Amino acid sequence: MTESLLIRGARVLGADSADILVRDGVIAEVGSGIGRTGARVIDADGLVALPGLVDLHTHLREPGYEASETVLSGTRAAAAGGFTAVFAMPNTSPVADSAGVVEQELALGEAAGYATVQPIGAVTVGQKGERLAELGAMASSRAQVRVFSDDGFCVWDPLIMRRALEYVKAFDGVIAQHAQDPRLTEGAQLNEGSVSAELGLTGWPAVAEESIIARDILLAEHVGSRLHVCHLSTAGSVELIRWAKKRGVRVTAEVTPHHLLLTDELARGYDARFKVNPPLRTQEDVLAVREGLADGTIDIVATDHAPHPSEAKACEWQAAANGMVGLESALRVVHQSMVQTGLLGWDDVARVMSANPARIGSLAGHGTPIAAGQPAEFTLYDADAQGVFAEADLHGQSANSPYLGRELPGKVLWTVHRGYVTLEDGELAELSA
């Protein structure tokens, strides 16, 4: 599927216009006035060129939950959002806790062709928190797993968490923790605060997240291993990560687009599109995580793309599933919450949405600069566009987006993966086998 491409007039990382020549899946040249040389020409005048986005936290649901999403539909959504690589969370059926399942996910991604799919392995067997999964077997499998998580479930047992951190040191793996104390969140429905009290919903306290992060920071420091904190959401969590980094602990952290923009005030209408784990927090928390992302305390933006069929959301709040889809909207939300507010430039966006996630996940060939000799993985973004986010903007199998009907800036127009086009002028390309 690889073709020769000549992208004319793109603003690489938002800087001055340049041409980008792609041959054989590699960026052959970046400069001005590059000759056509038989390549297909793409007019990118004024578009921002970014390295292909990398999502360290995606739920693709396959195998087992294909009514919500498949690897094919999820990676089509990824391409529409400017992503060229996604890390697939292990809460599938069967759970991705063995070499066989992660190799199956890898093969499904290769067959789909819209983005690199890098499986994440479960920390414990069946994500039950009782005994370690086959971490070494998954690491040495064809999938070369380096990130392990029981996402959706906290690795609550400190001894198991310690053993996991010790085990992955052998191959420089990382444990990605879903920081949620299960005892402190029994029956929890919404961030603990004035809104939950007024609505009569059981509160989800910030300390339930922060206490696990604090414990795991100390364990990671003791073991000397890598810890990654998933979907950090509170001001206190930001301070804990900041403290840990000053101590030299090998910890990284992510924030979701929705925690950069939305607050628990949106739950007042009992619209379950706004029900998510961890819950939407307060405006003070939103400002704190923005500051943490801007100053480097938080390393990356990750979508936590969590598709659900309509019946899982079209019900009363208490019965509704947690989760939001987010691949197609992520860059636009970061544009609004971080770039338009002056907190990040486009070079910073490339760092937190491409380079850093690829580095944390040890994913070669992604997160690389748009420069000669590098893999042709990039996206072209119209930063001057503005529009209402609608169901037509969604390309997966589920429509549980919190942004439907909301005006967002920007539009992803082109995505190039492994040297071929997966998104063409805003429309998904149909890939040949």
* Bridge partners (DSSP) listed for residue 409: 386
Opening angle at CA 183, ends 179 and 186, nearest 5: 100
Q: In the β-sheet with 300-301, what is the strand arrangement from edge to edge?
A: 147-148, 174-177, 226-229, 251-255, 300-301
68 touches 397 (CB < 8 A) = yes
Opening angle at CA 102, ends 100 and 108, nearest 5: 105
Residue type, 184: L
Helices 206-223, 158-168: inter-axial angle, 10-degree rounding: 50
> E strands, 263-318, where?
300-301
Phi then psi dihedrals of residue 169, to 5 deg: -60, -30
Q: Which two tokens stand for residue 40?
A: 């297909």
* Terminal Cα-to-Cα distance of the chain (whole angstroms): 8
Rounded Cα distance, 430 and 201, in Å = 45
Say how many C-beta atoms besides its own lie within 10 A of residue 24's C-beta: 10
Say how many C-beta atoms besides its own lie within 10 A of residue 407's C-beta: 11
b/e per residue, 128-140, with b = 16+ CB within 10 A?
A: ebeebbbbbebbe
The residues annotated with a catalytic role in the active site are 304
Q: Which two tokens stand for residue 201?
A: 């919903």
Rounded Cα distance, 284 and 55, in Å = 26
* Bridge partners (DSSP) listed for residue 88: 58, 119
173 touches 135 (CB < 8 A) = yes
- Chain mean position to CA 305: 7
346 touches 48 (CB < 8 A) = yes
- Chain mean position to CA 139: 21
* Bridge partners (DSSP) listed for residue 30: 20
* Bridge partners (DSSP) listed for residue 387: 408
